[in-house]
Amino acid sequence: MKKQDIDIHVGARLRNRRTMLGLSQEALAKSVGITFQQVQKYEKGANAMSAKRLYEFATFMRVPVAYFFEGLDQHGVATKEHAGFAETPREAFEHATTVVSDRESLEMMKAFKRIKEQSMRKRLADLVRAIAEDRSMVDLSSKAAS
């Protein structure tokens, strides 16, 4: 594994968390006193982050520093079983940039977070899980689209 592969993985995790929080690159950059272009470089793995910078991002985004390395084994190789990530850091970055940046998913997550009633949130989450697991619903929707 090359050093840049680890940088790509860490950058993908940064982008993933930033997107999940609904933050722009500019907002994240301002939080740690850098330019949004530097955030872009970190997210692409073009620039490596210092320990200090990782700590600043982790503190601002309320995750442990280890969050950025989740999915890597002790040799810096992406693990297959890491949920939401592909086999290699480059695939992980591509996965994060296509799936996580999906506008509908982000909008749905933001709307879900605005629901204050816990019982309603639980019912809605159960409904979404049931729909996602129901293969007959998937088959019906694909036939209807044809």
Q: 18 and 89: one domain?
A: yes
Q: 18 and 86: one domain?
A: yes
Q: What pLDDT shows up at residue 63?
A: 93
Q: 62 and 129: one domain?
A: no
Tell whether 121 is covered by a domain.
Answer: yes
Q: 90 and 60: one domain?
A: yes
Tell whether 110 is covered by a domain.
Answer: no
Rounded Cα gap, residues 50 and 110, in angstroms:
31
Supply the pTM of this predicted model: 0.58
Q: 41: domain CATH number?
A: 1.10.260.40
Count of the separate structural domains present in the chain: 2
Mean pLDDT by 10 residues, the chain (146 residues): 81 90 92 96 94 96 92 63 45 49 70 88 88 65 54
Q: Answer whether 8's CB lies under 8 Å from 45's CB.
A: yes
Q: 46 and 69: one domain?
A: yes
Q: 56 and 83: one domain?
A: yes
Tell whether 61 is covered by a domain.
Answer: yes
Rounded Cα gap, residues 72 and 82, in angstroms:
8
Tell whether 126 is covered by a domain.
Answer: yes
Tell whether 97 is covered by a domain.
Answer: yes
- Domain with 127, as residue range(s), is 115-145
Rounded Cα gap, residues 77 and 9, in angstroms:
10
Within 10 Å of residue 110's Cβ, how many Cβ atoms? 11
Structure tokens at 78: 């992406």
**Cα–Cα nearest to 20, from 131, 81, 102:** 102
Q: What pLDDT shows up at residue 3?
A: 67
